[in-house]
Amino acid sequence: MDVDNSQLLKGVLDLAVLAVLGEKDSYGYDVVRRLRDQGLDSVGDASVYGTLRRLYQAGALNSYVVPSDEGPHRKYYGLNDRGRKTLDQSAKAWTSLSGALNKLLNGRSHKG
């Protein structure tokens, strides 16, 4: 993956992770799995983990540990007020941006 593509994905990944957590709280690997279930196949585990940590450090997420009888204890992440606000704003920005981009790309495909 070259730099431009990773930069592009990074912006999208923030929104994707926020959206997944907006549905319900999740632990790291569960976020990865749910993103892949939604069709983001190429998303890397490290990218998701790094994004979770960054959003957490930025104060958009809260976290708590859920003990598990079998397997390791799981650290769950969830949106706090700031995270929900960011999700709302980013979702609006994404909708308008993707709408504009789709128009552009559609125009290009009609021409081609």
- Angle of helix 3-23 relative to helix 45-57, nearest 10 degrees? 70
Smaller CB separation from another protein, 73 or 111? 73
Q: Which residues bind another protein (CB under 8 A)?
A: 6, 10, 13-14, 27-29, 44-51, 53-54, 57-58, 71-75
Q: How far is the CB of 28 from another protein (least distance, A)?
A: 5
Q: How far is the CB of 107 from another protein (least distance, A)?
A: 31
